[in-house]
Amino acid sequence: MKAICFRIFALLSFCSALAFGANPSVPQEGGKQYAEVISGNNALITPSDRANPLLYGGPEVAAIKGWGLDSPHSFGFGELFTILQGKYFALIFLLIVIFVPMAFYGHYKLVGKRHYAHNSFLIVFTKYNIIVHWCAAVPFVMLCLSGLMMVFGDKLGGGTLIRFARDVHGFATLFFAVFGTLMFLMWVKDCLFRTCDIKWMMMLGGYLDKVNREIPAHKFNAGQKMWFWVATLGGGIMVITGGIMFFQAAGIDTLRLMALVHNFVGFLVIALLITHIYMAVFAIEGAIESILNGKMGEEELSMLHSLYYKDLKAQGKLDSMRVKH
């Protein structure tokens, strides 16, 4: 009997809610939002449990009111964030991951790998350079891979795998923040742009040539410099925006803005990371060895970094830099 009475009471309560309760899809009396007419909304999460009090309670209602770019009360990024996050960000990342490698595959088949003599080698990077580079590069690649896993999380099934990617993302950020800063300080002077970089850009670094010729570049060419600035300053922006989102250390509109910036910089980072890997591993024979053991073939250096080579020769440093492979 008690069970029957309970079921009748539950049914009556449900019907009353349907008949008299606030409908979240319908504007309420006086133009109020659904969150303003339901009771107990703020009691659901106690102040001590709120990761960010700016996202709950009164400010939560204000955030709902400010929804949309074309709303009469709008001043935020709600609609823009939702459209881009829901429809375009994952698509753009997918296009980058597919078409940038395809473009370089076409380059490899049409132009091919560049070959240089490896009879004589010069030490161009110190052990410190190599250690700092790889201690920044490994977590950087981990950040990119785990970030892409989160972007395509729904396609990968979500769950434990994506939570693991999120944890890896946060863990790798700590290492990159430290060694990315050291790398910036280590090479910032060498990566300042010079007038010769304009000529390098106009001839695309000679990468469309099938014959070897002298390329105007110092220790780092214009392409490497662009990657340096994107990896360090762009990486710094990614660390800051990601940290603000992770700790929810701002209001709702600021968090939306951080997410937008994080994704836009991410497009550039992923595209240039693929470029950097292709150039180092596939475009030039033996190029990757310079950042593995510090040695670069003398002919390669004299051609691809001709201005740097001429400076070393004028200063009489070549003999002291030569080593056996």
Look at residue 264 in the predicted model and tell me its pLDDT.
97
Q: What are phi and psi of 215, to 5 degrees?
A: -115, 130
3-state secondary structure 182-226: HHHHHHCCCCCCCCHHHHHHHCHHHCCCCCCCCCCCCCCCHHHHH
Residue 29 lies in a domain: no
Full domain range(s) for residue 147 = 110-323
In a domain, 49, yes or no: no
Q: Kindly state whether residue 309 falls inside one of the protein's structural domains.
A: yes
Give the pLDDT confidence score for residue 79 in this predicted structure: 73
Domain assignment of residue 119, yes or no: yes
Question: Residue 46: its pLDDT value, please?
Answer: 55
Cβ(237)–Cβ(229) below 8 Å: no
Per-residue confidence (pLDDT) for residue 34, from 0 to 100: 41
Collapsed DSSP state (helix, strand, coil) of residue 79: helix
* DSSP 8-class letter at 122: E
Kindly state the tokens that stand for 123: 């030490």
Query: Given this model, what pLDDT does residue 21 score?
Result: 43
CATH number of residue 163's parent domain: 1.20.950.20
- pLDDT attached to residue 278: 96
Instruction: Determine, yes or no, domain membership for 68.
Output: no
CA distances from 176 to 126, 170, 197, 234, 303 (A): 20, 10, 28, 12, 33
156 assigned to some structural domain: yes
Rounded distance between C-alpha atoms, residue 20 and residue 75, angstroms? 33
Look at the chain and report how many structural domains it folds into.
1
Whether residue 295 lies inside any domain: the answer is yes
pLDDT at 78: 72
Show the DSSP H helices in 21-55 as ranges.
34-37
| pLDDT at res. 49 | 54
pLDDT of amino acid 323 = 86
Measured between alpha carbons, how far apart are the two ends of the chain, in Å?
A: 92
Question: Is residue 258 in some structural domain?
Answer: yes
pLDDT below 70 — which residues of the chain?
1-76, 325
Question: How far is residue 300's CA from residue 297's CA, in Å, rounded to a whole number?
Answer: 5
